[in-house]
Amino acid sequence: MIAFFAKHPTAANLLMVLMLAIGVLSMTKLRRETFPDAAAVEVEVAVPFPGATSQEVEETIVDRLEDALEGVQYVKEMRGVAMMNVGRVTLKMTDTGDYVTFRNEIDNAVSGIDDFPEQAEAPITKRLNTKDPVLDVLVDGPMEAPDLKTYCERLKDRLLASDGISEVEITGFSDHLLRVELSREALLRYGLSPAEVSASISRQSIDLPAGRLEADETTLVRVKESRKTQAALESIVLSGQQGAAEIQLGDIADVLDEFELDEDRIEVNGRRAAVLKILKGKTEDVIKVAESTQAILQQERERHPQVTLTVINDMSQLVEDRIGLLVKNGLQGCVLVFLVMWLFFSARLSFWVVISLPVSFLAAFAVVPLFGLTINMLTMVGLLMALGLLMDDGIVIAENIARRRLEGESAMDAAINGVREVATGVFSSFLTTCCVLGPLMFLSGELGRVLKVLPMMLLLVLCTSLVEAFLILPSHLGHSLAHANTERRNWIRVRVDSMIDAGRELCGRIVSLAIRWRYLAAGLVVMAFLITVGLLVGGVVRGQVFPDLEGDVIEARVLMRPGTPLARTQQVMDQLGEALAKTNEVFKPSQPEGRDLVETSYVRFNHNIDAFETGAHVATFTADLLATEQRDARLVDVIQVWKQQFGSVSDALSVTFDEPAIGPAGRALEIQLSGLPLEELDQVSEEVQAYFRTFDGVYNMTDDLRQGESELLVQLRPGVVGLGISTTDLATQLRGSFQGLLSDQIQVGSESYDVEVRFSDLDRNSLMDLYDYLVFLPSGQTVPLSEVATISESKGWSRIAHFDGQQVLVVIGNIDSERSNAMAILGQFKAEIIPKLVDTYRGLKVSFKGEAERGSETGASLARAAVIGCLGVFIILSFQFRSYIEPIIVMVAIPFAFVGVVWGHLAFGIPLSLPSVMGYASLAGIVVNDSILLVLFLKAARQQGVPVIEAAEGASRTRFRAVMITSLTTIAGLSPLLLERSLQAQVLIPIAISICCGLLASTLLVLVVIPSLYVILSDHGWTR
């Protein structure tokens, strides 16, 4: 096959064109996103229970759900949460589970529960993490809230009607309803109760088929008295007698068109606004969805210029910036690789070796969709990492062909024989690389699902490059060398060749010295490795699960005391807005062209991801800043100034400043406490938070357990049953007066409305409204509430969390990675504090979640993959070398390359992270390849009768040029990324450091240490 394609006049070029064509055609089908989809399969079961406290929800909803769901298959973990008005249980499926079985068992278990409270609504079961955000549209205009909601609904319909947009969510509004606010004085005057009014509305607002008339034509009969407007509801007759006046609903109540929760709102500069969240499915392209959205918005701006439509949280722009950054670095790397190659080879030969890169890349794109891969930051980095592996094979082949050509073979014979000579070594190197990278495709955990796309992309490119290297490259190099003048060399190549010769001689002398003192050399290698491990153990080189990513959005999350009125929360948010304006003035002079740092800001009430609860006492202030590539300010610096400008608020439980997104690694600090009553867990939490606050760089420490709103418990007095009043009757009357009773549900256009009956705000805004409440008896008489019931005060928890059926408390916090290290802090906490806490609080259980848990899970699978990979490499090398001992020489290169990785991170001041380890794993392929070929050359010399020391020195000299070219081209290809200063590249730079610095160390090992180790084995008769 090699000779056929090399000698055929068109076969190689046709194959290359075919690979390029299918790659280009396939690119239109590739999806683009920031990171691979790493979300776990989760199903949530929610049961609304309006008016219930968290304790009541826990007992009647969450506990019963957990009992029913306990036996579901494939459950990795089960999380429950009881809050006011709703209970939720979320089940996470194992990585190897079957979703259909998983979901069916959940549905069957939930449908089998028949003892939920009567007031609880039907369970809602849904799968989470099925959609990804694309962008948000902030809608602001001169409209009242109902009109704004109507406009948003129409805009949503227009967006969904366009091609490419599959889901839009409207936020900033609660459920729309027609609220009947009863006058307490009027009810008493006419002798009506809220329950009777609600029943009257239900009876007189119907739309019901009544049958059909069978005559010459069939005619349907329908009773239609549907009340869909405020006026129609106010005209409902509640009571009346013949000849007397009728009492209409409008006589005793006001019917208001409003939203259920006044605090569920978004404001821009004090005006009511809304946000449309544009989402995409897992198979949709984020940039295409964003482009479709922008086109509709532009048309909408022209139709309604009075409405402001602002795009915020634009993930598509982030994707474009990050992919553009990698494309730029890739192109720069290819140019540098060509220039380095040109120093050693002719321009023609260098061109054909470098052109193999885009051919292999595009051919790999053709099969990328088949493996569920997308174009994202990590797959693009996989292509950059492939530069080294691909150039390694190309350089080995090109160097050998050029050598044989210089020895006098014809160009085509040199091409064919040169490839055949190294084909075994190249293919063996390919297999060992597959052994190293293959197990990494099965990393577990959410971080593993993110990182495993790297080895997948690398292996796809390696497979296509093997075809290019064996079938296409020999033909191109053969024809290239046939037209090249091997006698003519320019002054640059003369100078480079002389430097290479000098380097080869220097290397030869060093190798001779190392072989002479080979046991000392081996000892120095071991010492270097132990010192490197000491850098990690001693904390000199810090560890980090995943690098921090710089975004464009910051938030201030406010948590007031439960029961705080909305007006007070609004005052605090106004203070935050003023502080943000001052912060903008501080940074504005340093921005490009003096632009504002803050582009857009808005406030969302009833929302705080740190508080784990809702209500008028929580809110979030969001600021959208200049893009990362445009602004001259780090988010941590902006947040610090904003915090200083704001100061503090005495009645706020917490005000946290942070980025809105949590990276794929999770929270830096997330500790779960369990095994004790909530009161004791609360005490432990205070001690844990106090400990972490002593570290510099730790901020936003809090937990998910807080006292809820004050409660008034109403209980019937003994002996009042004779009055005909029951607990259910009393609860219904109180609920209808203060909580509200659902009387009807109507459909107006595409929107569903509830009709709700309750007291007016003036009749339900003080304690005396409850204490003076008059209870209706079956006889029609009224008695004061205090005569039939007792009232006591209580206070419970606002939220109760469960994990696998147990009550838990979660402590969370953030760490500034520039000032502190999360792994070191958690390690110290585990060694010093946890034993003391467990001794003090018997039964306490402490577990790590977030970044620590995900890093540990993925790290464990990474260790397993490393063991499997090393075993596979050993088997292949043992088969090839026909020895059990000699493969160890090659494999020594893998841990020694780690020395360069660690010292490189130390030199650049960057923590070692999981991406660093992935870079190191891909580096192992290059290192093993170089080592295999050196040992093969050494063994070939031994078979010709050359003494072992002379063979070892000769192999190192022979391979010097190829190893140096491989190292220099790989480093050149990654140097743009290594020197990239963009904040978006921080997650990628550790990969480049691992490869470049590890390659420097392994180059020394391959050329100097491996020959010494081989001679040591020969001393003991362990070589063949």
Q: Is the pLDDT of residue 1001 over 60?
A: yes
Q: Where are the beta strands (DSSP E) in 541-666?
A: 553-560, 598-605, 618-625, 652-658
Q: Which pLDDT belongs to residue 490?
A: 64
Nearest to 973 by CA among 354, 471, 477: 354
Q: Are 456 and 441 in contact (CB under 8 A)?
A: yes
Give tens-digit pLDDT for 824-833. Answer: 899 899 999 9
Taking 80 as the threshold, does the pLDDT of residue 568 lie above it? yes
| Predicted local distance difference test score (pLDDT) of residue 575 | 95
Q: Both tokens of residue 879?
A: 């088969």
Q: Are 807 and 650 in contact (CB under 8 A)?
A: no
Does an H or E element contain 456, and which?
Answer: helix 453-467
Range 247-267 average pLDDT? 89
| pLDDT reported for residue 240 | 66
Residue 280: name the closest of 290, 270, 272, 271 by CA. Answer: 290
CA angle centred on 917, ends 911 and 921, rounded to 5°? 150
CA atoms of 285 and 542, how far apart (whole Å)? 37
Angle, nearest 10°, between helix axes 635-646 and 566-587?
Answer: 130
Q: What average pLDDT does this structure show over 398-424?
A: 83
Rounded Cα distance between 897 and 874, Å, is: 17
The pLDDT, as a whole number, for residue 842 is 92
pLDDT in tens, 275-288: 999 999 888 889 99
322: closest CA among 386, 365, 376, 279?
Answer: 376
Domains of the chain, CATH where assigned: 1-30+318-481+508-545+855-1020 (1.20.1640.10), 40-128 (3.30.70.1430), 130-313+738-771 (3.30.2090.10), 551-661 (3.30.70.1430)
Q: Does 375 score more than 60 pLDDT?
A: yes
- Please report which confidence band the pLDDT of residue 693 belongs to, taking 50, 70 and 90 as the band edges: very high
SS3 state of residue 398: helix
Quote the pLDDT of residue 583: 95
- The alpha carbon of residue 26 and the mean position of all alpha carbons in its chain are separated, in whole angstroms, by 27
What is the average per-residue pLDDT within 673-698? Answer: 93
Q: What is the C-alpha separation between 966 and 962, in angstroms, rounded?
A: 6
- The Cα 82–Cα 60 span in angstroms is 10
Q: pLDDT band at 977, cuts 50/70/90?
A: confident
The amino acid at residue 1016 is I
How far is Cα 736 from Cα 197, in angstroms, rounded to an integer?
9
The predicted-structure confidence for 778-809, as pLDDT tens digits, reads as follows 888 888 888 889 988 888 888 899 999 999 99
pLDDT band at residue 242 under the 50/70/90 scheme: low
The stretch 317-324 carries a mean pLDDT of: 82
Question: Is residue 43 a contact partner of residue 128, using CB atoms and an 8 Å limit?
Answer: yes
How many whole angstroms separate alpha carbon 758 and alpha carbon 625?
44
Count other C-beta atoms under 10 Å from residue 821's C-beta: 18
**Percent of the chain at pLDDT exceeding 70:** 98
Number of C-beta neighbours around residue 903 at 10 A: 20
Burial of 305 from C-beta contacts in 10 A (0-12 / 13-18 / 19+): exposed
Q: What is residue 63's predicted lDDT score, i.e. its pLDDT?
A: 95
Q: Please answer whether residues 603 and 574 qualify as being in contact, where contact means their C-beta atoms are separated by less than 8 angstroms.
A: no
Residue 922 pLDDT > 80, yes or no? no
* pLDDT, position 488: 57
Residues 146 and 232: beta-carbon distance below 8 Å: no
Listed in sequence order, the residues at least 6 apart from 106 whose beta carbon sits closer than 8 Å to its beta carbon are 43, 45, 69, 72, 91, 125
Task: For 70-116, write each residue's pLDDT tens digit.
Answer: 989 999 999 999 998 899 999 999 988 999 999 999 999 999 999 99
8 Å CB contact between 658 and 555: yes
Give residue 77's pLDDT. 94
- Report pLDDT digits (tens) over 605-661: 999 988 878 889 999 999 999 887 788 888 888 999 999 999 989 889 889 998 876
Position with higher pLDDT, 129 vs 44: 44
pLDDT at 663 over 80: no
**What is the per-residue pLDDT across 122-181, written as a single tens digit (0 to 9) for each?**
999 999 988 889 999 999 988 889 889 989 999 999 999 988 899 999 999 988 888 899
According to the model, what pLDDT value does residue 244 have?
58
- The burial class, CB within 10 Å (0-12 / 13-18 / 19+), for 209 is exposed
**Average pLDDT of the chain?**
87
Give the tens place of pLDDT for each residue, 175-209. Answer: 888 889 999 888 888 888 888 888 888 888 787 78
The residue among 737, 738, 769, 741 whose CA lies nearest residue 755 is 741
- CB–CB of 152/139 below 8 Å? yes
- Nearest 5 degrees, angle CA 651-CA 653-CA 658? 120
- Could you report the per-residue pLDDT of 433-482, keeping only the tens digit for each? 888 889 988 888 888 888 888 889 989 998 998 888 888 988 888 888 77
Q: What is the pLDDT of residues 537-566, one digit of tens each?
A: 888 888 887 777 777 889 999 999 888 999
- Contact by Cβ (8 Å): 878, 870: no
**Coil, helix or strand at residue 913:** coil
Q: Which residues contact 505 (CB under 8 A, 6 or more apart)?
A: none
Query: Sorting pLDDT into bands at 50, 70 and 90, what band is 417?
Result: confident
Q: What is the pLDDT of residue 158?
A: 93
Q: Decide if pLDDT at 486 tops 60.
A: no
Residue partners of 846: CB distance under 8 A and separation at least 6: 671, 672, 673, 834, 837, 838
The whole-model pTM stands at 0.83
Instruction: List b or e across 946-968, with b for residues whose CB sees 16 or more CB atoms inside 10 angstroms.
Output: bebbebbbbbbbbbbbbbbbbbb
Residues 163 and 292 sit within 8 Å (Cβ to Cβ): yes
> What kind and span of H or E run contains 212?
strand 206-214
DSSP single-letter state for residue 477: H
pLDDT at 572: 95
Distance in angstroms (rounded) separating the CA atoms of residues 195 and 728: 12
